[in-house]
């Protein structure tokens, strides 16, 4: 497992760390007030970094026929899958933690900060589940085939959903906004995060079975 993490972490550092550093530094310097735009930006950033890390890793595996090579080593399917899932979880937790710190140290009302924290926990959980599904699809069908179906879904989640919430649902809530925000604030969103981890673990078990059942030739 540790060997897989060491192999894949260089891609996360090489491609993602500079972007993460620039964005986090910019947002810390700007210290803009917590509002819907700010939350949408942080949520999109978190989701895209997690998913793009998976996409870069799996693209490299397919291009270099990495899974065929790994099948010649004394590595079990469980070790390979566990290494990839653990690294993705670490990246997700780092991003969510940085986002929560950013919210807590930025100007804004207590209500909007609470809603922002809830939203980012939900985004982090969604990103984990989406990443797990991409892994399962890659193990079963190959990365290219999986991404043909996943690209549209990712665009909907990252672009369409926030736009609909901001442009349609938010105005429709009208005078009920404060009531709804209070409900969101009082809800224990860490339970949602815990449930997400449980689902992620379940998907990892499924991924191990799919990876074990797939022949090396299916990745060509």
From the number of C-beta atoms within 10 Å of its C-beta (0-12, 13-18, 19+), residue 42 rates as: buried
- pLDDT of 152 above 60: yes
Q: In angstroms, rounded to a whole number, what is the distance separating the alpha carbons of residues 12 and 52?
A: 9
- Length reported for the chain: 220
pLDDT at 49: 85
Minimum mean pLDDT among 13-27, 63-77, 110-124, 201-215: which range? 13-27
The tens digit of pLDDT for each residue in 20-63 reads: 677 667 666 665 566 666 777 778 888 888 888 888 888 888 88
Q: What is the mean pLDDT of the chain?
A: 77
- Report which of 123, 143, 124 is spatially closest to residue 133, judged by C-alpha positions: 143
What's the whole-model pTM score?
0.79
| Higher per-residue pLDDT: 185 or 200 | 200
Q: In angstroms, rounded to a whole number, what is the distance separating the alpha carbons of residues 152 and 25?
A: 30
pLDDT at 89: 93
């Amino acid at each position: 497992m540790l060997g897989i993490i060491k192999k894949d972490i260089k891609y996360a550092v090489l491609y993602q760390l500079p972007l993460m550093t620039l964005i986090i530094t910019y947002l810390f310097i700007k210290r803009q007030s917590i509002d819907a735009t700010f939350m949408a930006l942080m949520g999109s950033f978190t989701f895209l970094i997690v998913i793009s890390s998976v996409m870069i890793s799996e693209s490299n595996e397919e291009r270099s026929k990495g899974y065929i090579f790994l099948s010649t080593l004394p590595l079990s399917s469980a070790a390979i899958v566990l290494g990839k899932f653990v690294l993705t979880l670490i990246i997700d937790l780092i991003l969510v933690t940085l986002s929560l710190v950013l919210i807590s140290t930025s100007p804004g009302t207590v209500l909007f900060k609470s809603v922002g924290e809830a939203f980012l926990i939900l985004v982090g959980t969604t990103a984990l589940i989406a990443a797990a599904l991409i892994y399962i699809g890659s193990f079963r069908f190959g990365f290219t085939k999986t991404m043909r179906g996943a690209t549209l879904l990712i665009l909907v989640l990252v672009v369409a959903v926030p736009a609909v919430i901001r442009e349609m649902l938010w105005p429709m809530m009208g005078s009920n906004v404060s009531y709804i925000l209070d409900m969101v604030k009082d809800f224990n969103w860490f339970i949602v995060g815990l449930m997400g981890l449980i689902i992620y673990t379940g998907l990892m078990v499924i991924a191990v079975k799919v990876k074990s059942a797939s022949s090396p030739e299916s990745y060509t």
